Amino acid sequence: MGNLTPELAAFRDETRDLARSYGLDFYEVIFELVDYDELNMVASYGGFPTRYPHWRFGMEYEQLSKSYAWGLSKIYELVINNDPCYAYLMRSNSITEQKLVMAHVYGHCDFFKNNSWFANTSRKMMDVLANHGARIRRYMDRHGVEVVEDFIDVVHSLDNLIDPYSPFIRRDDGKKRVDDEAPREVKKIQAKDYMDRFINPPKFLADQRKKQKAEDERERRFPPRPVRDVLKFLLDHAPLQTWQHDVLAMLREEAYYFAPQGMTKIMNEGWAVYWHSKLMTRHLCDASEIVHYCDTHSGTLATRPGQINPYKIGVELFRDIEERWDRGRFGPEYQACDDPELRRQWNRPTGLGRERIFEVRRIYNDVTFIDEFVTPEFAEDQKLFVYGRNAQTGQLEIVDRDYRKVKDQLLNALTNFGNPIIRVVEANYKNRGELYLQHDWSGNELQLEHAQMTLQGLQRLWGRPVHLETMEGGKGRLLSYDGQQSTMKEVTPSKGGQLAVGKEPEPS
């Protein structure tokens, strides 16, 4: 049950009871007291000391250790989404810091348990990952370390190609269409006979037929619809050996487990800061500790001009929401009011603030959180701005303080955790079993050199040539790797389900 000193255990109990009294709801939390080296070690494994062996954890460890040794960074807290939650405390922290970290951890644990984006994550991940570790070790014994490691490298370089919403939606209806079905009749909108020709006019029916034909056409394609979960697609259709299949499945499961943490970074940290600051300043800190607490706390919230600190933005947004709902600054009437002075003065006490933030922590993720709650007033109070590079001076400059621009930029960076969205659109490209991926163009170019190298890995899994369509400098680009060489061609971007197939210039 952890290894806290009696003193810390008493603080833990106090903090836990306080947190409960405010309505926080969490799995049991087990605190482990560790020294800096153990903490760096656990952190290198993403919190799971029993994970499979891989050199990148060693690399992470070296970087963390060096950066700690040079005094550049220090990990305060590490908490694992699991039932029970595991949290690590650094032994050398002062008592005040330990109290703060414990309060912070209870915030995270409440968030893990209650935020709906975590609803489908395994709460026995400690065990799951330990099992994965054991299985991968066994494969290494059987097939050789380098073979398995190589494969893991490839999968890891693809593991951002998942569909973070798929645990919540069924992407296909599971129905298999059979070819020899009788031609389907176009669905009419129900109407009485005498109304039929008005409600289902011939033009409408013709459109419907056309639509259906296109759909049938698409059904014959493989895959019928673009697939965002590229890992799943490979799992189902790539020619893998049994052990490779198993490793891919395990790493995909891990990627899905970690995904919600990436989707809720701002909210999760904001929520934890909100609660540590509430519990510390209202209850846990005594007078002798308050300066030390403030010093640590403000360190966490420090902002640098060119960056957004998720802790800061998160907690400020939660506080803003609480205040707005306390003062009734919501609803159609408030929304419609465009007198800034009036909005600033708006106060119709409702006392709904606390309830509202609990609700927000349950159903939002970073994208919806920012989209819905960053208001003009908030952007102004927080002095948010958009910056860009001045082409002449090469310097970063403040471009705009308009809250819509700020929000756009933030959302852009948060979408799909800042990763490009890439889909499998055709797995039988040129009727030669070649894999065709398409980058969902959002205005940001890919790093093409990396993309080429990633394709090389993908080709090894797929076995046949692979292609990626993207844009560069306003022009369509088709990157390909056929197992021997990487090429890049200019293509007309594909439109409306019609691939750049055939439109590409003939290779010279």
Span 38-67, contacts to another protein by CB under 8 A: 41, 44-45, 49-50, 53-59, 61-62, 66
Q: Report if residue 308 touches another protein, rule: CB under 8 A.
A: yes
Q: Report if residue 385 touches another protein, rule: CB under 8 A.
A: yes
Dist. CA 191–CA 346, nearest whole Å:
51
Residues 309-328 that bind another protein (CB under 8 A): 309, 312-313
The pair of three-digit structure tokens given for residue 84, joined into one six-digit string:
């029970």
User: Which value, to the nearest 10 degrees, does the dihedral of the CA atoms of residues 314, 165, 359, 333 take?
Assistant: 90
What is the closest distance, in whole angstroms, from the C-beta atom of residue 207 to another protein in the complex?
A: 37
**Exactly one of 209, 396, 430, 475 binds another protein (CB under 8 A); which one?**
396
Dist. CA 397–CA 376, nearest whole Å:
21
Q: State which residue, 57 or 111, has the beta carbon closest to another protein.
A: 57
**Cβ(443)–Cβ(472) under 8 Å?**
no
Encoded one letter per residue, x for contact with another protein by CB under 8 A and - for no contact, window 421-440 reads -x----------------x-
The pair of three-digit structure tokens given for residue 455, joined into one six-digit string:
């394709």
Q: Report if residue 420 touches another protein, rule: CB under 8 A.
A: yes
In terms of DSSP H, where are the helices of 84-180? 95-114, 125-143, 145-158
Q: Report if residue 450 touches another protein, rule: CB under 8 A.
A: yes
Q: How far is CA 113 from the centre of its chain?
A: 17
175-179 contact pairs (CB < 8 A, 24+) = 177/219
The pair of three-digit structure tokens given for residue 67, joined into one six-digit string:
């950066």
Q: Report if residue 161 touches another protein, rule: CB under 8 A.
A: yes
Distances (CA, A) of 473 to 54, 75, 391: 38, 41, 16
- How crowded is residue 352: how many other Cβ atoms within 10 Å of its Cβ? 16
What is the closest distance, in whole angstroms, from the C-beta atom of residue 410 to another protein in the complex?
A: 5
Residues 400-419 that bind another protein (CB under 8 A): 400-401, 406, 409-410, 412-413, 418-419
Dist. CA 488–CA 500, nearest whole Å:
14
Q: State which residue, 427 or 455, has the beta carbon closest to another protein.
A: 455
Q: Interface with another protein by CB under 8 A: which range of 84-92, 288-296, 350-358, 446-454?
A: 446-454
What is the closest distance, in whole angstroms, from the C-beta atom of residue 304 to another protein in the complex?
A: 6
Residues 60-99 that bind another protein (CB under 8 A): 61-62, 66
- With CB under 8 A as the rule, give the number of residues binding another protein: 71
Q: Interface with another protein by CB under 8 A: which range of 77-85, 305-313, 328-336, 489-497?
A: 305-313
Q: State which residue, 357 or 455, has the beta carbon closest to another protein.
A: 455
- How crowded is residue 28: how many other Cβ atoms within 10 Å of its Cβ? 10
What is the closest distance, in whole angstroms, from the C-beta atom of residue 443 to another protein in the complex?
A: 8
288 phi and psi angles, rounded to 5 deg: -70, -15
Q: Report if residue 134 touches another protein, rule: CB under 8 A.
A: no
Residues 206-245 that bind another protein (CB under 8 A): none
